[in-house]
Chain A
Amino acid sequence: MTAVLAVLEQREGTLRSVSREVVTGSRHLAGPAGRVDSLVLAAGAVSGLDRLGDFGADAVLVRTHPAFERYAPESAAHVISQAASGNYDAVVLGATATGRDLGARVAAKLRVPLAADVTEVGSDDGSFVVGRPVYGGKAVQTLRVTARPAVISLRPSVFTPVEHPKAGTVDTAPAVGIADAGRVVVVDVKPARAGTLDVSEAAVVVSGGRGLKEPANFALIEELARAFGTTASVGASRAVVDAGWRPHAEQVGQTGKTVSPALYVAVGISGAVQHLAGMRSSKVIVAINQDREAPIFNVADYGIVGDLFEVVPALTAALTRLSR
């Protein structure tokens, strides 16, 4: 029987949305008869654990320590690798900012490689076979992970949570074997501008590029994002981040963030390969560009060839009418 440890992420006592995807991916690897245990590290109580059973978790292990008030990379890696060692065939994490850091540490403690940022999972004859984008999304690599445990991180927003009812029994106990956070201590977390949702977590991303002509015109992008609702957020091309128009946190692409929202709207962005690297796994892509030959149209599901200064306000108005 295949046993999988699904490592979930909480922030300030609330389970992060990627967790259900991680449980879903873990269940996929374990198979219907396999075992999936979820592990959450926290300083105290965690909300959002109750529905994990619905998505295929047999048990939910909460391990508490005051050091887990914030991300404590060294202690977290220690507790997870101790839990995993000898007990599980695979350890699965979400490839979030934290998960990317933690996954590599856990793998190193277990002395195995990490199959990182995976977008396809399967098992074949008792071995784990995964697919992952490489070369900036221009190719997909299929890997067989023979190391045990197999440590795998899943790209967020790719694995749609699937219902697969299991017990989901919650077991809370103090984490053992750690004294404090470790040598690397997170002393502060500076929040981004209030009320902004991170591009990598938004269901809709509206990104602007050099076609906006000047920073003040990003108001058009912000208004369009608002018209899509509260789960939308603003992204940017590197050209406008490098020009200082927008913060780096909004940059999408090879040297920015990788996003896979339900809808990605590229406005005044040409679609350079390095930009595509960060957004081509979006489910639906819309491009607004005056240049019919712009490469962004090669990946767009829908495109409007036109002047963004006319199209965007009209689209914002149409969406606003719709939501009334």
Chain B
Amino acid sequence: MKIAVCIKRVPDSEIRVAVAADGKSLDEAAVKFGLNPYDEFAVEEALRRREHAGAGEVVALSVGPAAVQETLRSVLAMGADRALLLQVAALPADAWIVARALADALAGEHCDLILFGKLAIDDYNQQVGPMVAELLGVPCVTAVSALDLEGEQAVAQREIEGGIEVCRFPLPAVLTVDKGLNEPRYPTLKGIMAAKRKPLEVRPVELPAGGIEVLGLRLPSPRRPGRIVEGPGAVAELVRLLREEAKVL
């Protein structure tokens, strides 16, 4: 089974956000980056499917700056076989452009499965996966939290408001994966050593600007300072405030 996993290097979710001097991007000084958490589930699923099939290959791909090599190396340490970085100076805000670059690289790979995270925790775009599927002409199921493969047929579950949708679709396919599908492994020391010798190809690409322009990045307007109510009458006071001031009761 041949499986591709598309991964993104993102700022750690614990970062303190500061706006860079250009007024429209993240100030990356002192920001820790790592593998997008949802992509960990995608990598894990790819490894399990390859292990289960007993043969095959897991290829990790990413579009991004040179520093993404480090993230790809960590995916190789988890157990992927090889990696490809489509290197750009900076990622465009237009996800369609990113999807096109990935689809161009994937067109020659003929994978049975192409896995993505449900979303990237920096941009919350939730779109690169389905766009790659459209470009490659293969079916796509998003936000998959359970997956059954039987030969060329597959059944996946996805959470919707108030329930779970069960989808049937043929392979090859693109899936974007949600939390709950599996428990990602940590790289072992042996894996980390082995990753150093695994192939990591860096292919420079030029991307057009696309149809979305970032005008600015700002911190959210601070919430009105909160009020702490205390003492024996605290509950009654809270109810009064919710009724009379917040008007939510």
B-binding residues in A (CB < 8 A): 70-71, 73-74, 96-98, 100-101, 103-105, 107-109, 111-117, 129, 132-148, 150, 182-192, 196-198, 200-201, 204, 248-249, 254-256, 262-263, 273-274, 277, 280, 283-287, 292, 297-306, 311, 314-315, 318-319, 322
Interface residue? B54 (CB, 8 A): no
- Minimum Cβ distance to chain B for residue A276 (Å): 10
Interchain CB contact under 8 A, B220 and A133: yes
Interchain CB contact under 8 A, B212 and A146: yes
Interchain CB contact under 8 A, A104 and B15: no
A-B contacts, 30 listed (Cβ < 8 Å): A70-B165, A73-B140, A103-B127, A113-B212, A115-B212, A117-B126, A135-B122, A139-B19, A141-B214, A142-B215, A144-B212, A147-B94, A148-B211, A183-B169, A196-B162, A200-B161, A248-B159, A254-B13, A255-B37, A263-B242, A263-B246, A284-B246, A297-B226, A298-B226, A302-B238, A303-B229, A304-B238, A305-B228, A306-B230, A315-B238
Our count of residue pairs bridging A and B at CB distance below 8 angstroms stands at 250
Please report the C-alpha to C-alpha distance between residue A198 and residue B162 in the assembled complex, in whole angstroms.
Answer: 5
A-binding residues in B (CB < 8 A): 11, 13-17, 19, 24, 26, 37-38, 93-97, 99, 121-127, 129-131, 133-135, 139-143, 145, 155, 158-170, 179-180, 210-220, 223-224, 226-230, 234-236, 238-239, 241-243, 246, 248-249
- Minimum Cβ distance to chain A for residue B18 (Å): 9
Interchain CB contact under 8 A, A144 and B230: no
Given A105-B134, A139-B26, A184-B139, verify A97-B159 contact (CB < 8 Å): yes
**Chain B interface mostly helix, strand, loop or mixed?**
mixed
Partner among A97, A196, A284, A292 whose Cβ is within 8 Å of the Cβ of B143: A97
Interchain CB contact under 8 A, B167 and A186: yes
A residues near B166, Cβ cutoff 8 Å: 186-190
B residues near A147, Cβ cutoff 8 Å: 94, 96, 210-212
B residues near A303, Cβ cutoff 8 Å: 226-229
B residues near A182, Cβ cutoff 8 Å: 139
Partner among A104, A141, A262 whose Cβ is within 8 Å of the Cβ of B127: A104
Interchain CB contact under 8 A, A96 and B223: no
Starting from the known contacts A138-B17, A248-B159, 20 additional A-B residue pairs (CB-CB under 8 Å) come to A98-B160, A107-B96, A138-B16, A139-B17, A139-B218, A143-B212, A183-B139, A185-B168, A187-B166, A189-B160, A189-B165, A197-B162, A200-B161, A249-B159, A263-B246, A277-B13, A297-B228, A301-B246, A304-B229, A304-B238
Please report the C-alpha to C-alpha distance between residue A142 and residue B169 in the assembled complex, in whole angstroms.
Answer: 37
Please report the C-alpha to C-alpha distance between residue A144 and residue B163 in the assembled complex, in whole angstroms.
Answer: 35
- Minimum Cβ distance to chain B for residue A49 (Å): 21
Partner among B17, B99, B180, B228 whose Cβ is within 8 Å of the Cβ of A304: B228
Interchain CB contact under 8 A, B161 and A315: no
Interchain CB contact under 8 A, A139 and B217: yes
B residues near A142, Cβ cutoff 8 Å: 24, 214-218
A residues near B26, Cβ cutoff 8 Å: 135, 139
Please report the C-alpha to C-alpha distance between residue A127 and residue B215 in the assembled complex, in whole angstroms.
Answer: 12
Give the 7 A-B CB pairs with smallest separation, nearest first. Answer: A147-B211, A108-B134, A104-B127, A198-B161, A104-B130, A97-B160, A188-B166
Interchain CB contact under 8 A, B211 and A319: no
